[in-house]
Amino acid sequence: GNSVTQMEGPVTLSEEAFLTINCTYTATGYPSLFWYVQYPGEGLQLLLKATKADDKGSNKGFEATYRKETTSFHLEKGSVQVSDSAVYFCALSDGAGTASKLTFGTGTRLQVTL
């Protein structure tokens, strides 16, 4: 079956530091890949997505590249801000059948300090 593995958190960084959150996946076929972000007390929001190999998703300074050869979709940001403190979830969708179900990683908590 499908699975997503994320690096364990929490990740604590100083403001303006470089961020990488690792994500690897196992799936049959050609899944779409997503990063969702959850701010405290809120639901999940889509941060970025990629639908095929070598696609780069980007949003709000965050980037992730769909690497089929390493089955990875690592999230990066060049300079984090305190407002980026949240939980980040990597997910995949295989798009199979009539309802596409998402498989989530366990989430990585990011805390950014001044």
Partner 1 sequence: NAGVTQTPKFQVLKTGQSMTLQCAQDMNHNSMYWYRQDPGMGLRLIYYSASEGTTDKGEVPNGYNVSRLNKREFSLRLESAAPSQTSVYFCASSNLAGGPYEQFFGPGTRLTVL
Under the criterion CB under 8 A, does residue 46 sit at the interface with partner 1? yes
CB of 45 to partner 1, least distance (A): 7
Distance CA 27, CA 33 (A): 11
Under the criterion CB under 8 A, does residue 88 sit at the interface with partner 1? no
Three-point CA angle 111, 70, 89, nearest 5°:
30
- The percent helix, strand, coil of the chain (3-state, each to 5) is 5, 50, 45
Q: How many residues bind partner 1 (CB under 8 A)?
A: 23
Of 17-25, 74-82, 99-107, the window that binds partner 1 (rule: CB under 8 A) is 99-107
Closest CB to partner 1 among 61 and 95?
95
Under the criterion CB under 8 A, does residue 44 sit at the interface with partner 1? yes
Closest CB to partner 1 among 34 and 84?
34
Nearest by Cα to 31 from 59, 80, 72, 89 = 72
Contacts of 72 (CB under 8 A, 6+ apart): 22, 23, 24, 25
Under the criterion CB under 8 A, does residue 29 sit at the interface with partner 1? no
Radius of gyration of the chain (CA): 14
Q: Which of 19, 32, 64, 84 binds partner 1 (CB under 8 A)?
A: 32
Binding site for partner 1 (CB under 8 A): 32, 34, 36, 42-46, 49, 51, 89, 93, 95, 97-102, 104-107
